[in-house]
Amino acid sequence: MKICVLPGDGIGTEIVAQALRVLEAVGGKFGRAFETEEALIGGCAIDAEGVPLPAETVAKCQDSDAVLLGAVGGPKWDAIDPAIRPEKGLLGIRKELGLFANLRPARLFRELADACYLRPDIVARGLDVMVVRELTGGIYFGEPRFDGEKDGERFGCNTMTYYEHEIRRIARVAFEAARKRSGRVCSVDKANVLDVSRVWREIVIDEHKNYADVELSHMYVDNAAMQLVRDPSQFDVVVTGNLFGDILSDEAAAITGSIGMLPSASLGEANPGLYEPIHGSAPDIAGQDKANPLATILSVSMMLRHSFDMAEEADCIENAVVRTLEQGYRTGDIMQEGGKPVGCAAMADAVLSNL
Shortest Cβ 277–ligand NAD spacing (Å): 6
Of the pair 53, 71, the CB lying nearest ligand NAD is at 71
* Binding status of residue 281 toward ligand NAD by CB under 6 A: yes
Per-residue mark of binding to ligand NAD, 85-114 (x: CB under 6 A)? --x--x------------------------
Shortest Cβ 261–ligand NAD spacing (Å): 8
* Binding status of residue 284 toward ligand NAD by CB under 6 A: yes
Residue selected from 283, 289, 323, 349 as contacting ligand NAD according to rule CB under 6 A:
283
Of the pair 57, 187, the CB lying nearest ligand NAD is at 57
Site for ligand NAD in 200-239 (CB under 6 A): none
Q: At what angle do helices 86-96 and 55-62 cross, to 10 degrees?
A: 40
Shortest Cβ 292–ligand NAD spacing (Å): 3
* Binding status of residue 263 toward ligand NAD by CB under 6 A: no
Residue selected from 7, 52, 73, 268 as contacting ligand NAD according to rule CB under 6 A:
73
Which residues carry out catalysis? 140, 190, 222, 246, 250
Question: Interior CA angle at 344 toward 340 and 345, to 5°?
Answer: 100
* Binding status of residue 71 toward ligand NAD by CB under 6 A: yes
Task: Report how far residue 300's alpha carbon sits from residue 276's, in angstroms, rounded to the nearest whole number.
Answer: 8
Q: Which residues contact 196 (CB under 8 A, 6 or more apart)?
A: 160, 161, 162
Residue selected from 23, 58, 135, 291 as contacting ligand NAD according to rule CB under 6 A:
291
Of the pair 248, 342, the CB lying nearest ligand NAD is at 342
Q: What is the CA radius of gyration of the chain?
A: 20
Shortest Cβ 99–ligand NAD spacing (Å): 13
Of the pair 11, 302, the CB lying nearest ligand NAD is at 11
Residue selected from 279, 305, 306, 330 as contacting ligand NAD according to rule CB under 6 A:
279
Shortest Cβ 256–ligand NAD spacing (Å): 13
* Binding status of residue 273 toward ligand NAD by CB under 6 A: no
Q: Based on the number of CB atoms within 10 Å of its own CB, is 149 exposed (0-12), middle (13-18) or buried (19 or more)?
A: exposed
Of the pair 91, 205, the CB lying nearest ligand NAD is at 91
Tell me if 343 sits within 8 A of 334, measured CB to CB: no
* Binding status of residue 285 toward ligand NAD by CB under 6 A: yes
* Binding status of residue 191 toward ligand NAD by CB under 6 A: no
Tell me if 34 sits within 8 A of 95, measured CB to CB: no
Task: Report how far residue 296's alpha carbon sits from residue 277's, in angstroms, rounded to the nearest whole number.
Answer: 5
Shortest Cβ 66–ligand NAD spacing (Å): 17
Of the pair 52, 268, the CB lying nearest ligand NAD is at 52
* Binding status of residue 292 toward ligand NAD by CB under 6 A: yes
* Binding status of residue 262 toward ligand NAD by CB under 6 A: no
Per-residue mark of binding to ligand NAD, 321-340 (x: CB under 6 A)? ----------x-x-------
Enumerate binding residues for ligand NAD (CB under 6 A).
Answer: 11, 15, 71-74, 87, 90, 259-260, 276, 279-285, 291-292, 295, 331, 333
